[in-house]
Structures are given as C-alpha cells and as structure tokens.
A and B are shown apart, each in its own frame.
Chain A
C-alpha cells in the first residue's frame, strides 16, 4: 500500500511539475485564510428566512418564549401527533434545567433502535437553507438526530446565522476544530427512489420539529 501511495503521488507530482508538500505555500495560504465564494443575497431577516425555508422542506416549528415553556411546547407536539410521553433527551446544558412532568419517561442518553422521540440542541441554524447544525459530542449524541421517528430540536433564535460560511466562522471561534460528526439537517428524512415520488421518513426521522426559543 505504501508503494501505491508513492506511485500515485509520484505521478501527480510529475504531471504538475513540482514536489508534493503538505505545507506548500499555495495550500497554507488557502487553508489559513479561507476565502468565501459568492454569497447568496435575500431581503428577509435571518429568522424569517430560516422559518420559510424550514417550512418548505416539511419541517415544523413552535415558538418558545423561555426555557420554562419547553415542556409545554413538547406537550403540545406529543398531543398533536398522539405520541406517548417517552423521550430520549440530549445531556445538553441548555436542557439540564428543564423540569419534566413526573409521569413522563425521560432519559438522557444516546438513542437506541426502538426510541420513538428525541430532543437535542442545535449548535446553530442556517437561514439560507433552513438547516440545523448539530455537533456530535457528549452533550449531543449523533444517534438522537437519526434513529427516532420524531426529532425535536431546540434552537435559540440568536443562534440563527445567515449562511453556511457563518456557521463555519462560529465553529472556528467557539470550538476551534470539527467534532467527529457535523450534521447539517434540513427537514425530515426523505427519498425519491420509488418512481421519483417524494416520501418522508426513509431511514431517518419521519418528522422534524424545531423549538425556536426567544433570545
């Protein structure tokens, strides 16, 4: 395999007429000071744009005035979907203070195959496309985003950034590096593999519900 590495790199370097180097000046300049491409423009506020795009991809949302209203927003959702009060919740600081009703079954852990409903917290939202950005980590297990039928996600309004590039900027400032999985999630899971007919809930969540928290 090492021979192949040398052979492949050797052919490339020969075609390009230079010596391969991971720290070549052209490369270092580009990765150290990443330039943005053309930025799509629009006239709505980030919040308006985010909600319009989220709705367009069959995502739903509820507005939550404060952390104290999270329980009632989830209660409303469960009632609307006639779901039992059994949740898997991300062990996230923003959800740590939530006092769930005593007769609910709420577990803070990663998701398993038969979990029906999950609740996680987005790192940020992207207005351009109505996407949620979730970063894997102890406070945000990736399985919560994909295994349950109903995926609920808390997003503080102040965390809506205009474009994908703004999410990268935020990520570099606040985290420094990428976690194992960075998920850009835009609406529920879907497929068009049977006669090009769009069907929601292929392998991931059938429904995506955003709890948009003020502030």
Chain B
C-alpha cells in the first residue's frame, strides 16, 4: 500500500473526530490491557521467561546467518523449499511464480503481517488470481478495502453494525435473507462463506510466528483455525516469513510461546499452535503436496548490528499498541502504513524511509509504557528518540523546530547561561500573566492554549529554590 505516514497529523485529527472509530477504540482498549494484566499476574515466572526470551532472541540474532542456513537445510531435508527475497517485489514474484507453476486460480490466505508489508494480495490480484483472506478480521477489512489497523486484531476499528452492513451488502440478496444482528450470526455467516473457499483453494498462504532451525518447522499461533485449514486443504502451502523469525529449538520456541499469547490476547496459549514441517508424507491422508517458505529481508539485515538492532527482537504481539496512549486515541490507520503504534513508529521510517515516516516517532510523549509491557524488553522510546536524532541530523524537520532545538541545545550545554535565561523567562512570564497564574493564549504556544490554559510560572526557578533550601539547612 502507498504510505500516508507523512500526513499523520491530518490523519490523526480526522480519527479523533470520527465518532464510530472512537466508539470502536473505546470498546477494544481496556479489554486487551485488563486481560494481559490478569494472565501475567497469574504466572510468577513471567519475568524470568521475559529475560529468557530476550536472551534467546539476542543469541539467535548474533548467529542469524548460521540459524537461517540451518533452517533452510532442515526445510529441504523434509521435502520443502526455501526462497530468499531481498525486496517486497522479489517476495511477491516468488509467490506468484509458485502459484503459476501450480496452475492456481484461488488462494486461501491466513493472516500475515509480512504479507501486508510486501502487499502480496495486490500482486496476486494484478496477475489475475483470486485471493481470499480467511482470518475473520482480515476478511472484514479485505471486503471493506482497508488495511489492518492493528497487528493482531486487524478489524478492531470496525463496529458490529459496520461489519453487519458489509456482510449484507456483499453476501445477501435484497429481501431474501434476514439482517445480521448478533456476533454469532456474523461469525456463522463468515464460516459458511469461507468454508467453500478453503475447500476449493489451490494454494494456501500463511504467515509464521516462528521458524525453527532445529526442525525446519514454521509455527503459526491462531484462534480461529483458518490458518490450519489454509495450510492443510490446498495442494500447495506457502509460508511468508521475515528473516528475524528464526529461533534455534523447540524448547526456545516454548519460552517465546508463553510470552506471545499472554502479551497479545491475554491468553495462556491460543486455541491452535501449529508446527508445519514439510509437505505431506507419502503415507499421509491429507496435507499439501508442496511446502514453500519465502524468507523476506526487506531492510532487516541492514538493521542488524546498527542503532535499531533491538527492534529485531520483536515478536509482533501488539502489547505496545494496546498500551499506547497515542494509538488508543487515533487507532492504527492514522499511522498511514502497515505497522501502527510504537513498534510501527520505529519500523515504518526504516521500511518506507524517514522522509515519509518522519511524523510517527514524533507522535509520542515517550511515556515508556510500551517498553514496560514489551515481552522482548525492546527500548522503544530510545529507538523513537534515535529517529528524532536522525531527523535533526539530516535536517528533515521544519526549520522552526530545528532552530528551537538548536537554541535549546546551545543553552543546555552552558549551565550558567541556561539558568540566567530561565530566571529571565520565569520573571517575564510571571509579569505577563499579571498575577492570574495562567495564560488563555500565548504567542508560539497556540498548540497548547487552544485546548487548555498554560500555567504561568509562580515564584522562582527550581535551581533558585533549591539553593535557598540548601542554605537554610
């Protein structure tokens, strides 16, 4: 999809005034947070698992080339095939090639964020193939022609009424079927419609939460069962996965699984955790005849060992989105590309360029809640600050904010001068407020005063008060 991250400010303003979106966000927000808190406090070993999970990822990243080779070897030993793709275009070409060789017409697709990243649906549809998203949330946004607004709950921005209307418009014949009202009715209708697609699809595409070097397996973590049907019924199974998904062993995967479900949906484990290892064996009664893994880089190998290295530990649980005050206020679409929230604000500028993604790292108070809940202890605020530093260095920000920052830096590096300026500012602002203690408006501060008063400084600067107190003691 064409990113609109550069327009974050406008996107966010629109989102804040979208009454339906605000209703949907209000319903979703607290649910995720409360469920996660309950299930994490139920497990005394959570912190130990978190440390172990981080160590597993750090070890794997330090040996990433070895583990990828090992994984490739094991996939081949089980009769599967690994395809390497440097760019989204190469990844789409690889998938399309496999589909064409299989003479495919219909593709059943499970949820894959890498699939969104490389825009695989657009590529397949452009080549005349029919692609059906089979995860209910993904299906909803596919028929609404929208991108996902959350990495694990793609249709979280939609209300039940909106979904019912989408289904009625697409599936129903006017006057013949009764309108959809309840959640069970909606889910049942999707089940029936998509069942036929699973059964007639030629190719199934799924994502992967983990790739296991030890066994050559790809792992998906789901609740609906659509990923398993997509991987079992069609003749060909294609797995889309990015290179940082590899982990060494089944034991390592177990550690990460305990962290993932709890952090994502507040479950101890999802309904289905499946390990796919190669195509069907000669004596099997079902399963695909071909098993392909498309390994996507798309900038990740360039992150290795650099300033954003730690982002490669991300397991895509979405906890940082759920706990982010900015995401909770504006939803995922405002971020303008595939990955929203704090993890998206780090990844988007790296994948679509800092010029395009520049507003995202700035749309944060750096409150640190994301880092607190991240199961992989990724220092998201630090990485957001790094983007801001790059932005300043490359002179991408507006001249006024760059000058203001440069002026502040000049003062901050000269403590005596800084104190003098502060003292002057405090006295000046105090005088300007004429004893009211607050400003209704102030030049250069409309951004603040448009919505609330700005408190005026009272008395003296902190340093002056500190000196006085020390003197008294």
A residues touching B (Cβ–Cβ < 8 Å)?
Answer: 1-2, 4-5, 7-9, 11-13, 15-16, 18, 20-24, 26-27, 30-31, 34-41, 53, 57, 91, 109-111, 113, 128-129, 131, 136-138, 141-143, 145-147, 163-165, 168, 177-197, 199, 201-205
Q: How many A-B residue pairs have CB under 8 A?
A: 276
Given known A-B contacts A27-B213, A146-B229, A199-B187, A192 and B70 have beta carbons under 8 A apart: no
Instruction: Knowing that A15-B301, A146-B228 touch, tell me 20 more A-B residue pairs with CB under 8 angstroms.
Output: A7-B86, A22-B72, A31-B70, A34-B250, A34-B251, A37-B56, A37-B252, A37-B255, A38-B52, A141-B284, A143-B285, A146-B229, A180-B280, A183-B274, A195-B160, A196-B156, A197-B183, A203-B198, A203-B225, A203-B226
A41–B283 Cα distance when bound, in Å, is: 39
B275 to chain A, nearest CB (A): 4
- Closest-by-CB residue of A relative to B216 is A178
Which of chain B's residues have a CB closer than 8 A to the CB of A13? 65
30 A-B residue pairings within 8 Å (CB atoms): A1-B83, A2-B84, A11-B304, A16-B62, A16-B63, A24-B63, A26-B59, A37-B254, A38-B52, A110-B285, A113-B198, A137-B284, A177-B215, A178-B277, A179-B281, A180-B287, A181-B228, A183-B273, A184-B269, A185-B272, A186-B269, A189-B272, A194-B136, A195-B183, A201-B188, A202-B187, A203-B194, A203-B225, A204-B226, A204-B228
Contacts of A183 in B (CB 8 A): 228, 272-274
Are A178 and B217 in touch, CB under 8 angstroms? yes
Judge whether A27 and B225 touch: CB under 8 Å.
Answer: no
The 10 nearest A-B residue pairs measured at CB:
A204-B225, A37-B255, A20-B65, A202-B224, A193-B137, A22-B69, A5-B84, A15-B305, A34-B249, A38-B48
Is B49 a contact partner of A22 (Cβ separation < 8 A)?
no
Closest to A58 in B: B271
Distance from B142 Cβ to chain A, minimum over Cβ atoms (Å):
12
Q: Which residues of A contact B302 (CB under 8 A)?
A: 11
Chain A proximity of B231: nearest CB distance (Å) = 8
CB <8 Å contact, B69 and A20:
yes
Give chain B's interface residue range (CB within 8 Å of chain A).
Answer: 35 or more
User: Which residues on the A side are within 8 Å of B59 (C-beta)?
Assistant: 26, 30
Residues of B within 8 A of A15 (CB): 301, 304-306
A204 to B68, CA, bound (A): 32
Q: Which residue on A lies nearest to B71, using beta carbons?
A: A22
In the bound complex, how far is the Cα of B43 from the Cα of A21, in angstroms? 38
Main secondary structure of the interface of A (DSSP, over half): loop
Cα-based distance from A189 to B183 in the complex (angstroms): 15
B183 near A40 with CB under 8 A, answer no
Q: A186 and B45 in contact (CB under 8 A), knowing A1-B83, A146-B232?
A: no
Q: A201, B228: Cβ atoms under 8 Å?
A: no
Complex contact B243–A8 (CB within 8 A):
yes
CA distance A199 to B286 in the complex (A): 28
Query: Is A190 touching B251 in the complex (CB atoms < 8 A)?
Result: no
Q: Determine the distance from Cα of A197 to Cα of B184 in the docked complex, in whole angstroms.
A: 10
A194-B183, A199-B183 are known contacts. Are A142 and B232 too (CB-CB below 8 A)?
yes
Across the two chains, which residue of chain A brings its CB closest to B287?
A180
Measured CA separation A113–B68 after assembly (Å): 37
Residue among A12, A23, A39 making CB contact with B68, cutoff 8 Å? A12
Q: Report whether A39 and B45 are in contact in the complex, using a CB–CB cutoff of 8 Å.
A: yes
Does B452 belong to the interface (CB within 8 Å)? no
Q: Is B28 an interface residue (CB 8 A)?
A: yes
Q: Contact: B199 with A38, CB < 8 Å?
A: no
Q: Are B274 and A182 in contact (CB under 8 A)?
A: yes
Contact indicator B279/A180 (Cβ below 8 Å):
yes
- Decide: B254 and A165 in contact? CB cutoff 8 A: yes
Q: How far is the CA of A23 from the CA of B70 in the complex (A)?
A: 7
Binary contact readout B135-158 vs A (1 if CB under 8 angstroms, 0 otherwise) = 111001000000000000111100
* Contact partner, B153, options A31, A109, A192, A202, Cβ 8 Å: A192
Q: Which of A27, A184, A193 contacts B272 (CB 8 A)?
A: A184
Chain A CB count within 10 A is highest, among B67, B225, B233, for: B225
Please give, as numbers and ranges, the residues of chain A lying within 8 Å of B228 by CB-CB distance. 142, 145-146, 181, 183, 204
Cα A65 to Cα B65 in complex, Å, equals: 52
The answer to whether B179 has its CB under 8 Å from any CB of chain A is no
Q: Per a CB cutoff under 8 Å, which of B66, B86, B188, B224 touches A22? A: B66
